[in-house]
Amino acid sequence: MLIRGRENARWFFWLNDRQWARIEPHLPRGLTGPDRDDDRRIVSGIIHMLQSGARWRDCPREYGPYTTIYNRFNRWAKRGRWCAIFEALAKPGEDGVVLSLDSTSIKAHRCALRRKRGEHNQAIGRSRGGRTTKIHALSDPLCRPVVLHLTPGQDADIAAAPDVLALAPPMSVLLADKGYDGDKLRGAIIRRGAKPVIPNKSNRVVIHRFNKRAYKGRNVIERCFCRLKDFRRIATRYDKLARNFLAAVHLAALVAYWLN
């Protein structure tokens, strides 16, 4: 939910009552240390920063000190809290759902680059578009992502598919483009009890049957990525650490799809 600031013309994001009722039960409890500040205000501030793409130090004072906002995001990313909340809420609601698999490339800003070696370990690689990160996702028929995974930008889509499928819920059909056309992947999908709907590559010797009508439903994954990239800190990667960028993607996916 967006509200207009009283003192200026900027717009701010605040979790509404329905959104907060969904996310609050999954926040960590019983942690040692001093009592936390207002969780709703701070989480709203984190989401605002993901949407605006601004530097953390430019966080509006209405959310509190920017150090508190960043430290909460960073510490919970380090502990895997944001990913855990996403996994708890991102449930398709039915077994045997039709899922779509694809990836999108994200340009890494220069502030996300590391001077020393090790960019590959942080899911940053060199591709035709420069230094990029790939977000791999599985989406349900309502465009909602159910699995999110990162790799360096130059990695082939089919190479990351097994790691994505390992996190997938039960499904009846998997839709993917011809970049995922491989016998090993098709076999893995079938062993999971699902039917692969993947176009055949032009150089394939053994041609598999292909349901063109069912394949038209694959557009949901493209729409999913478009909405995620409405968050400017997702459309461009500013985080040096892969864990922080993945946490940001999970949180953006929650707000865009699973908290409404």
Q: Which two tokens stand for residue 56?
A: 């953390």
Instruction: Tell me the whole-structure pTM to 2 decimals.
Output: 0.91
User: What pLDDT does residue 33 have?
Assistant: 55
pLDDT tens string 11-51 = 788 999 999 999 999 998 876 655 677 899 999 999 999 99
User: What pLDDT does residue 102 have?
Assistant: 97
Q: What are phi and psi of 126, to 5 degrees?
A: -95, 125
User: What pLDDT does residue 116 have?
Assistant: 58
The stretches in the chain having pLDDT less than 50 are 2, 4-9
Coil vs helix vs strand at 104: strand
CB 87 within 8 A of CB 216: no
- 51-56 long-range Cβ contacts below 8 angstroms, 24+ apart: 51/13, 51/230, 51/231, 51/232, 51/233, 52/232, 52/233, 53/231, 53/232, 53/233, 53/235, 53/236, 53/238
Q: Which two tokens stand for residue 86?
A: 């996403």
A 10 A CB-CB count for 47 gives 24
Q: What are phi and psi of 232, to 5 degrees?
A: -70, -25
